[in-house]
Structure formats: C-alpha cells, structure tokens
Amino acid sequence: MKIGKYVKDYTSGKRVGFIRVLSEVKELAEAIAKFNKKDIKEEWQDILHFVQLWLYWRFGLNQDVWRYTGESVKKFMERKAVWGKIYKYAGLTENVSNYVGNYKKEEKVIKQLKNFGIDEITAKQIWETALVNNFWTTTGKIMTLCLIMEADKILLGMKKRGFGAGRWNGFGGKVHEGETIEEALHRELQEEAGVTVKTIEKRGVIDFDNNGKMLTVHIFKGTEIVGSPSESEEMLPKWFDINELPFETMWPDDKYWLPLFLADKKFTGKFIFDADDNVLSYELNEVDSF
C-alpha cells in the first residue's frame, strides 16, 4: 500500500510536521527512562511511522508503507475501524472522519463527537456505551471488581458458587447492557454483600485470558461503606488485615497486582492462564490516570 493511500484512508488527513516526529522521540526517551520494553518498541514504531508521514507531506515521497512501521500502521487502521463503530452508534456515517485518536480516552471521544454537533452529555454516554460493549475488541466481557477499604482492613468475599467458587475475591461481576461500569459496581455490591459505598476510585484495568475465556476487569477502590456486610447466595464477606491476605485461596494473579492497589498506584495489565488456573505470563504497567 502506498503511503498516500494510507494517509487518505486511515489517518485524519492532517499535514504532519517534523515536530510530531520530535514528540514521538520524546515519548521514546520517557519509555527508555522507565525501562518499559513494551512502550520502547511501540514508540520506536511510531517514530518510523511519523517519519514516513513527514517525508510524504514535506517532500511528496509516496513510497510503499515501510514494513518496519507495520505494527504502528496496523494500530491506526484498527483505530479507524473502532471510530467507525462509535460514529455509527452516534447516528453518523462510519466514514464521517478519518480521525484516529486514542478512542480509549474519554476526553478525546467527547471532543471529537462535539465536532459533529453532539452535546457533551450525549457524547459521554456514547463513550460509556462503547466501553461497556467493548467496541475495540471482538471477544471478551467487561467486568467490575471493587475492593472496599477501611483503614488497614480490606473486605473480601468467599465465592460460594459459579466461576471462581472457593476463592476469596473482591465484589463485582458482568456489566449488563445499558449499565455504566460504575452502576454495575454498585449493583453487584448490593447483590453480593448488601452494602454500597459513597466513594469509588478506579485503580486498574486488567485483561484476562483464562484458557480462552476473555475478560476485561475494571478494578475500583471503595471507601465510606454504607450498611453492614451480609452473606448472600453468592458471597460470604469477611474483613482481612491488609498484611494477612489469604493469597493461597485467592486468584493467583492477585499477588501480582494487589501490592500496586494497596500502594495507591494506578495500573493496567494482562494475565494469561492455563486450564488449571496457573499464570502462564503477565504484564503490569503503572499509569498516571484513567
């Protein structure tokens, strides 16, 4: 594919100046400083990607897309497809724009939809629907998980039935159609432990591949509990000291990300399990915000 066709079909069509290349170099330097191999690889791909775009706009070099930029180009092509889903849900045509900003950032989606006369409240609802329905992947369920904290105590529940039975875990479950992630969280707290919380804060988002079963779990810290935890048909709640957590009867991934959670860090990650629920591989990355 020629770079000119790529620019026409899969980018915003905006002229790329060399300052954009320098911006990517800065991001590469930040990734190197953090020794983040995944980000280093991605940023290097992006540098090559934008160098080629700059050469096209500055000198008219319409050569074939460099194979070295393959992953970066693929990322932008996939973004275009997801934006098409968002536009279609918003009542626009799928190809109304070639904008390929990061659709996982709420502020970018709201700003882009406002360009087409959609008000901020409606745009926010559209982004939440895209998130809940996982527009950016073809498989997997969106789940919530809430860990309630009081001083140096954490509330866990022993799962009594279904997926994860026999393990201590936080409270949560599947996000139903028409619900926001936060609404699902409060519903699950009430159903599983008979409580709610006044304050929630998103701490993590982790993708799980559990022997082919794909889940994306949004992890929240809950504080200011309302009500007294009570046993339900699904969960048996119990308070634990944060220094005496029952890791031997929790999901095996918990020991990797819970220290970040307890240290007030925000993080993303991915875990792959085998058929016996053993962790085959994982990655965790701290982030500044969600």
Quick: pLDDT tens for 187-200. 999 999 999 999 99
Residues 150 and 50 in one domain: no
Asked whether residue 163 falls in the same domain as residue 105, the answer is no
Question: What is the DSSP pairing of strand 235-241 with strand 213-226?
Answer: unpaired
Among candidate residues 102, 132, 162, the one where a domain is terminated: 132
In a shared domain, residues 58 and 154: no
Which one of 132, 165, 191 terminates a domain? 132
Express each pLDDT in 124-174 by its tens digit: 989 888 876 667 664 457 889 999 999 999 999 999 988 889 999 999 998
CB contact set of 23 (below 8 Å; sequence gap of 6+): none
Residue numbers of the domain that contains 149 = 141-287
Q: Tell me how many domains the chain contains.
A: 2
- Global pTM reads 0.56
The closest alpha carbon to 183, from 131, 140, 136, belongs to: 131
Q: How far is CA 275 from the centre of its chain?
A: 24
Angle 39-40-45 (CA atoms, 0-180°, nearest 5)? 95
Residues 151 and 103 in one domain: no
Shared domain for 70 and 167, answered yes or no, is no
Taking the chain (290 residues) in runs of 10, the rounded mean pLDDT of each run is 77 78 90 86 87 90 80 74 85 82 84 93 88 62 92 95 91 80 92 95 89 83 95 95 95 95 93 84 85
Three-state SS at 95: coil
What is d(CA 129, CA 89) in angstroms, rounded to the nearest whole number?
Answer: 9
Q: Tell whether 119 and 192 lie within a shared domain.
A: no
Q: Are 125 and 171 contained in the same domain?
A: no
Task: Give every CB contact of residue 22 below 8 A, 6+ residues apart in sequence.
Answer: none
Separation in Å, CA 95 to CA 12, 83, 85, 100? 11, 9, 10, 12
Cβ atoms within 10 Å of 212's Cβ, excluding its own: 8
Q: Are residues 206 and 107 in the same domain?
A: no
CA distance 104 to 165: 32
Among 106, 132, 158, the domain-final residue is 132
Quick one: which of 130, 111, 153, 273 has its CA closest to 206? 273
- If asked whether residues 279 and 170 sit together in one domain, one would say yes
